[in-house]
Protein backbone atom coordinates (compact mmCIF):
# COMPACT_ATOMS: atom_id res chain seq x y z
CA UNK A 1 0.00 0.00 0.00
CA UNK A 2 1.44 3.34 -0.97
CA UNK A 3 -1.47 5.66 -1.50
CA UNK A 4 -3.22 7.83 1.05
CA UNK A 5 -4.31 7.32 3.72
CA UNK A 6 -1.85 4.44 4.32
CA UNK A 7 1.04 6.60 5.69
CA UNK A 8 -1.40 8.46 7.94
CA UNK A 9 -2.87 5.22 9.28
CA UNK A 10 0.59 3.79 9.98
CA UNK A 11 1.69 6.92 11.82
CA UNK A 12 -1.52 7.07 13.85
CA UNK A 13 -1.01 3.43 14.84
CA UNK A 14 2.51 4.28 15.99
CA UNK A 15 1.18 7.19 18.05
CA UNK A 16 -1.48 4.90 19.53
CA UNK A 17 1.03 2.20 20.42
CA UNK A 18 3.37 4.69 22.09
CA UNK A 19 0.65 6.56 23.99
CA UNK A 20 -2.08 3.99 24.47
CA UNK A 21 -2.36 4.52 28.22
CA UNK A 22 -3.08 8.21 27.71
CA UNK A 23 -5.55 7.49 24.92
CA UNK A 24 -7.35 4.86 26.94
CA UNK A 25 -7.60 7.18 29.93
CA UNK A 26 -8.82 10.06 27.75
CA UNK A 27 -11.60 7.96 26.23
CA UNK A 28 -12.47 5.96 29.36
CA UNK A 29 -16.15 7.00 29.24
CA UNK A 30 -16.79 5.47 25.81
CA UNK A 31 -19.39 2.71 25.85
CA UNK A 32 -17.05 0.58 23.71
CA UNK A 33 -13.36 0.07 24.56
CA UNK A 34 -11.03 1.71 22.05
CA UNK A 35 -9.60 -1.55 20.77
CA UNK A 36 -13.07 -2.85 19.94
CA UNK A 37 -13.91 0.06 17.66
CA UNK A 38 -13.81 -0.42 13.88
CA UNK A 39 -10.38 0.59 12.54
CA UNK A 40 -11.57 3.82 10.93
CA UNK A 41 -13.27 4.94 14.17
CA UNK A 42 -10.24 3.96 16.24
CA UNK A 43 -7.88 5.97 14.03
CA UNK A 44 -10.27 8.94 14.09
CA UNK A 45 -10.11 8.85 17.91
CA UNK A 46 -6.31 8.71 17.85
CA UNK A 47 -6.19 11.58 15.35
CA UNK A 48 -8.57 13.66 17.43
CA UNK A 49 -6.60 13.02 20.62
CA UNK A 50 -3.25 13.79 18.96
CA UNK A 51 -4.33 16.93 17.16
CA UNK A 52 -5.54 18.44 20.44
CA UNK A 53 -1.96 18.21 21.69
CA UNK A 54 -0.23 19.91 18.76
CA UNK A 55 0.38 23.60 19.25
CA UNK A 56 -1.44 25.84 16.80
CA UNK A 57 1.79 27.18 15.27
CA UNK A 58 3.05 23.63 14.57
CA UNK A 59 -0.20 22.19 13.23
CA UNK A 60 0.55 22.58 9.50
CA UNK A 61 3.97 20.93 9.91
CA UNK A 62 2.46 18.10 11.94
CA UNK A 63 -0.22 17.45 9.32
CA UNK A 64 2.35 17.52 6.52
CA UNK A 65 4.60 15.08 8.42
CA UNK A 66 1.61 12.82 9.05
CA UNK A 67 0.98 12.53 5.30
CA UNK A 68 4.60 12.22 4.13
CA UNK A 69 5.73 9.02 2.48
CA UNK A 70 6.99 6.40 4.88
CA UNK A 71 10.75 5.74 4.73
CA UNK A 72 10.33 2.52 2.73
CA UNK A 73 7.97 4.26 0.27
CA UNK A 74 10.39 7.06 -0.59
CA UNK A 75 12.59 5.49 -3.24
CA UNK A 76 15.08 8.35 -2.96
CA UNK A 77 15.73 7.69 0.75
CA UNK A 78 18.65 5.74 2.16
CA UNK A 79 16.22 3.71 4.29
CA UNK A 80 14.39 2.51 1.17
CA UNK A 81 17.67 1.48 -0.44
CA UNK A 82 18.69 -0.44 2.69
CA UNK A 83 15.32 -2.21 2.87
CA UNK A 84 15.46 -3.12 -0.82
CA UNK A 85 19.01 -4.42 -0.46
CA UNK A 86 18.12 -6.50 2.61
CA UNK A 87 15.06 -7.92 0.84
CA UNK A 88 17.14 -8.88 -2.20
CA UNK A 89 19.83 -10.52 -0.08
CA UNK A 90 17.23 -12.50 1.90
CA UNK A 91 15.59 -13.67 -1.32
CA UNK A 92 18.96 -14.64 -2.83
CA UNK A 93 19.90 -16.56 0.33
CA UNK A 94 16.71 -18.60 0.01
CA UNK A 95 17.51 -19.43 -3.60
CA UNK A 96 14.85 -17.19 -5.09
CA UNK A 97 17.23 -14.83 -6.83
pLDDT value, residue 37: 96
Q: How many CB atoms lie within 10 A of CB 66?
A: 19
* Cβ(27)–Cβ(45) below 8 Å: yes
Banded model confidence at residue 94, pLDDT cuts 50, 70, 90? confident
CA–CA distance, 69 with 51 (Å, rounded to integer): 19
Contact 87, 52 (CB under 8 A): no
The 10s digit of each residue's pLDDT in 18-51 is: 999 999 999 999 999 999 999 999 999 999 999 9
Domain ranges in the chain? 6-70
Nearest to 7 by CA among 72, 79, 78, 76: 72
Q: What is the pLDDT of residues 48-82, one digit of tens each?
A: 999 999 999 999 999 999 988 777 666 665 665 66
In this prediction the pTM is: 0.69
pLDDT for res 42: 96
* pLDDT score of 88: 66
Amino acid sequence: MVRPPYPVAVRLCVIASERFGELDAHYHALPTPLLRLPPHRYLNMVYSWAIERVSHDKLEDWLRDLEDLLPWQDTSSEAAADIESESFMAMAAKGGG
